[in-house]
């Protein structure tokens, strides 16, 4: 034990032993982050792969200069944050940490954040709301005829219909996160984001859903699960997870665990469990 601790200290404290060190960032969000952060923390820890700390920013209008987390102590940062800008030095520290190989996971409205922070937009690939407009340089990412299509048609980015259950279709099934998932699986009632846009570079789409025009949708296959490369860093972006109920979907839990492991390490060892949803049935965990 002492030897492993000593060796770990020497090589890579953030990924030492079996435990991947995770920092969840929250503190401002137009969603109930006080409820969802403990749920995200528990689902990561329940996999047995992660230990999780939480860094909470000051509330809206607070003194953001007091927020300066040490990203370098972690293998993964998970954002449950959609709020005011962080200090410039925190942004610079975060983008260089990811670029040098840090793992980043983006959940639901965290992809609405920081429209004016270019590196953040590159990390998340696409986002919505906050005045975003699609066009050349900020295309909408869609899945058509078996491939990613970058649609530069001009329009507002980010909308969703009423929360209903919907099916996810696995794409790029050879990717470590997607490997072994059913081709089609049901997700619990949630917001189905559509028309997200952004730089969309180094983007691999892992799961899409049909955005139904009868529920204020686009008629397109819209990205739900994404993997992005940013320098040496890996980013897992999941648009699902509006609230605790949506996060109880086994598909959300397992893809978040696997996406987090991939972003942190480049590998996925977390198996697809027996209770993973199938095409016609929602599966929940309390």
By CB under 5 A, residue 258 contacts Zn ion:
no
| Count of chain residues binding Zn ion (CB under 5 A) | 2
List residues bridging with 209 in a β-sheet: 222
> CB nearest Zn ion: which residue?
242
By CB under 5 A, residue 190 contacts Zn ion:
no
CA 284 to mean position of chain CA atoms: 20
Residue showing tokens 């090589």: 11
- Segment lying near Zn ion (by CB under 5 A), choices 71-79, 81-89, 181-189, 241-249: 241-249
By CB under 5 A, residue 191 contacts Zn ion:
yes
Query: Taking the complex as a whole, how short is the minimal distance between the CB of residue 60 and Zn ion, in angstroms?
Result: 18
Query: Taking the complex as a whole, how short is the minimal distance between the CB of residue 25 and Zn ion, in angstroms?
Result: 17
Stated as kind and residue range, the H or E segment containing 56 is: strand 50-56
CA distance 74 to 15: 7
Query: Taking the complex as a whole, how short is the minimal distance between the CB of residue 193 and Zn ion, in angstroms?
Result: 8
Choose among 152, 204, 189, 205: nearest CA to 284. Answer: 189
By CB under 5 A, residue 142 contacts Zn ion:
no
Query: Taking the complex as a whole, how short is the minimal distance between the CB of residue 138 and Zn ion, in angstroms?
Result: 21
By CB under 5 A, residue 242 contacts Zn ion:
yes
Cβ within 8 Å of residue 274, ≥6 positions away = none
Query: Taking the complex as a whole, how short is the minimal distance between the CB of residue 26 and Zn ion, in angstroms?
Result: 15
| Phi/psi-derived region of residue 27, left when phi > 0, alpha when psi is between -120 and 50, beta in every other case | left
Q: How many CA atoms lie within 13 A of 143 on its CB side?
A: 22
* Binding residues vs Zn ion (CB under 5 A): 191, 242
């Amino acid at each position: 034990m002492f030897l492993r601790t000593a060796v770990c200290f020497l090589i890579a404290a953030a990924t030492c032993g079996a435990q991947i060190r995770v920092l969840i960032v929250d503190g401002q969000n137009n969603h109930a982050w006080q409820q969802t952060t403990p749920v995200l923390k528990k689902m990561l820890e329940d996999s047995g792969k992660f230990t999780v700390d939480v860094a909470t920013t000051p509330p809206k209008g607070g003194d953001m200069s007091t927020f300066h987390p040490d990203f370098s102590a972690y293998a993964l940062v998970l954002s449950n944050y959609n709020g005011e800008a962080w200090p410039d030095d925190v942004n610079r520290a975060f983008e260089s940490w990811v670029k040098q190989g840090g793992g980043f996971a983006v959940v639901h409205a965290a992809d609405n954040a920081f429209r004016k922070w270019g590196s953040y937009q590159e990390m998340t690939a696409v986002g919505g709301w906050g005045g975003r407009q699609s066009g050349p340089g900020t295309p909408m990412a869609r899945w058509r005829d078996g491939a990613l299509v970058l649609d530069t048609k001009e329009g507002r980015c980010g909308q969703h219909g009423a929360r209903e259950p919907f099916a996810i279709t696995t794409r790029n099934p050879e990717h470590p996160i997607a490997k072994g998932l059913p081709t089609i699986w049901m997700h619990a009632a949630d917001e189905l984001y559509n028309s997200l846009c952004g730089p969309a570079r180094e983007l691999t789409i892992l799961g899409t859903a049909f955005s139904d025009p009868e529920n204020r949708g686009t008629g397109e296959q819209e990205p739900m699960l994404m993997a992005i490369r940013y320098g040496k860093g890996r980013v897992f972006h999941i648009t699902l997870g509006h609230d605790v109920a949506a996060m109880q979907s086994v598909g959300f839990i397992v893809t978040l665990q696997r996406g987090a492991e991939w972003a942190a390490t480049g590998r996925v060892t977390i198996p697809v469990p027996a209770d993973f949803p199938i095409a016609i049935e929602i599966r929940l965990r309390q």
